[in-house]
Amino acid sequence: MSTALQMTAFGLALLSTFFLLLATCTDCWMVNADDSLEVSHKCRGLWRECVTNMQDGVRTCDQYDSILADHPVKIVVTRTLLITADLLAGLALATLLLGLDCIKFLKEDPRVKLKMCYGAGVILGIGSILGLVGSVWYAVDVYVERAMLVSHNIFLGVHYDFGWSCWLGMAGSMGCCVASVLLTCCLYACTDPTSRWQPPRLPQPRGRTATSKMYAMDSRV
């Protein structure tokens, strides 16, 4: 049961980490939400802004300034949180891979492998929180910006809505959160208590022969 749970958590964590990496690298966190008369499709990401001509399919991108340049707060915060979440998810994947029961690494010490699975679950949980905060922060900022323009009857020519990269970031974060629950709460509940708390067995000395035992008793007398 615990092996199947570990494999399920590993597959979910792998897919969720891929979603987080894809969300960080792609350029569609915001899309234009205008009517169908628009002849171009505009996307804004964390690193550049791209425009696709709907008639001929030509795509042009405008790279943002240097990372050290001044950027809106939502871009800086989302970049930082998503990159940190990516690194934590990658570290958790490596730890979980070594802690799987089907891997021969530390096969003679199952308690250590179990602790590695628990640790991977905790790291995934932290990464999921950071990724979810970054994605929701960006989405809320887009919504507030749009609501402010609408409330003041301001039209700048383009209104933006959430893009698929933003949804990917949320999905990857939620997947990491579910994998974290599987590796901590569910794995703890499915694991035999004796295997969690049983101290490691020390190597026993070789048994002495009956003659040597009798000799030791005689010598003590």
Contact 44, 51 (CB under 8 A): no
The predicted pLDDT at position 194 comes to 56
Asked if 127 and 81 touch (Cβ cutoff 8 Å), the reply is: no
**pLDDT at position 9:** 87
Query: Contacts by 112-119 with C-beta closer than 8 Å and gap 24+?
Result: 114/187, 114/191, 114/195, 114/196, 117/6, 117/9, 117/183, 117/187, 118/183, 118/184, 118/187, 118/188, 119/95
Of residues 30, 27, 28, the one with CA closest to residue 160:
30
Looking at mean pLDDT, say which of 48-52, 105-109, 180-184 comes out highest.
180-184
Fold of 2-26+71-196: Butyryl-CoA Dehydrogenase, subunit A; domain 3 (1.20.140)
60 confidence band (pLDDT: 50, 70, 90): confident
Which among 61-75, 78-92, 175-189 has the top mean pLDDT?
78-92
pLDDT by residue (tens digit) across 173-209?
999 999 999 888 877 777 656 555 455 454 455 544 4
**132 pLDDT above the threshold of 90:** yes
The distance from CA 82 to its chain's CA centroid, rounded to whole angstroms, is 9
Segment of 2-6, 136-140, 190-194 carrying the highest mean pLDDT: 136-140
Ramachandran bin of 3, using left for φ above 0, alpha for ψ from -120 to 50, beta for the remaining angles: alpha
The tokens of 4 are what?
């199947």
Confidence of residue 18 (pLDDT cuts 50, 70, 90): very high
Say what the pLDDT of residue 5 is.
82
Q: What is the mean pLDDT of residues 133-152?
A: 77
